[in-house]
């Protein structure tokens, strides 16, 4: 039987969270690496909104990363990322992340394209969300408790992106617990195992099996 097909882009934070959940679920998919400037016709055909990630299942299409995460963990969840109470307590944080924070993050990252404010001003706006995360992480190791959860996986790729806009600033910021959490997440197998580099997929070819069977994450 053919595998579900995941259209993905290595560095996209939404695609990273989806791949992490798929890896955590120990499911296999056929990964098709997309170049955002040249999205494959076959992807646009099944998902005209044309964002990654997209998961094509036998019986439907999932075109929101959070839905792909939920689907994966419904298949199997050995790490117990998707415990109902941790999902409930993280819902608001994820909504803040995907909403206001993401929009400040984009402006901070591409401040030259948004001259209304300086990069430092955009960063200050984004920090309202980091304050909340720091508060959570002062209380426990992960965002919703002592264990890694859906919420950590959903939010981490965006904090990674934020941190690397100016890593020196981030490391010396007022967010010691967040810096420690980011380091833990960056070193976690779940992350390193989903960052392999793939050559872009070509129409009418078979993508690569993901997670890859060999263990060589770079």
Ligand X SMILES: N[C@@H](CCC(=O)N[C@@H](CS)C(=O)NCC(=O)O)C(=O)O
Instruction: For residue 193, state whether it binds ligand X (rule: CB under 6 A).
Output: no
For the CB of residue 180, give the shortest distance to ligand X in the complex, in Å.
Answer: 26
Instruction: For residue 72, state whether it binds ligand X (rule: CB under 6 A).
Output: no
Q: How far apart are the first and last CA of the chain?
A: 30
Instruction: For residue 36, state whether it binds ligand X (rule: CB under 6 A).
Output: yes
Instruction: Write out the binding residues for ligand X, residues 114-153 only, by CB under 6 A.
Output: none
Instruction: For residue 65, state whether it binds ligand X (rule: CB under 6 A).
Output: yes
Instruction: For residue 64, state whether it binds ligand X (rule: CB under 6 A).
Output: yes
Instruction: For residue 52, state whether it binds ligand X (rule: CB under 6 A).
Output: yes
Nearest 5°: phi and psi at 35? Answer: -100, 120
Nearer to ligand X, 14 or 175 (CB): 14
Q: Are 22 and 72 in contact (CB under 8 A)?
A: yes
Which residues are CB-contacts of 178 (< 8 A; sequence separation ≥ 6)? 130, 133, 134, 137, 159
CA separation for the pair 66, 15 (Å, rounded): 10
Burial class (CB in 10 A: 0-12, 13-18, 19+), 174: exposed
Among 8, 51, 136, 144, binds ligand X (CB under 6 A): 51
Provide the binding-site residues for ligand X, judged by CB under 6 A: 9, 12-14, 36, 51-53, 64-66
């Amino acid at each position: 039987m053919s595998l579900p097909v995941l259209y993905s882009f290595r560095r996209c934070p939404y695609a990273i969270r989806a791949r992490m959940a798929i890896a955590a679920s120990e499911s296999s998919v056929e990964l098709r690496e997309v170049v955002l400037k040249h999205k494959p016709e076959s992807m646009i055909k099944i998902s005209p909104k044309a964002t990654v990630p997209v998961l094509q299942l036998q019986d439907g299409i999932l075109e929101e990363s959070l839905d792909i995460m939920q689907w994966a963990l419904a298949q199997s969840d050995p790490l117990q990322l998707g415990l109902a109470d941790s999902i409930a307590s993280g819902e608001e944080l994820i909504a803040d992340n995907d909403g206001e924070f993401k929009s400040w993050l984009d402006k901070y990252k591409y401040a030259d394209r948004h001259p209304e404010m300086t990069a430092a001003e955009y960063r200050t706006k984004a920090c309202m969300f980091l304050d909340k995360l720091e508060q959570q992480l002062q209380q426990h190791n992960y965002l919703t408790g002592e264990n890694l959860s859906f919420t950590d996986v959903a939010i981490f790729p965006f904090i990674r992106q934020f941190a690397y806009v100016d890593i020196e600033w981030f490391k010396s910021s007022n967010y010691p617990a967040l810096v420690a959490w980011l380091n833990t997440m960056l070193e976690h197998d779940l992350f390193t195992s989903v960052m392999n580099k793939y050559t872009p997929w070509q129409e009418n070819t078979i993508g690569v099996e993901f997670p890859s069977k060999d263990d060589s994450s770079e």
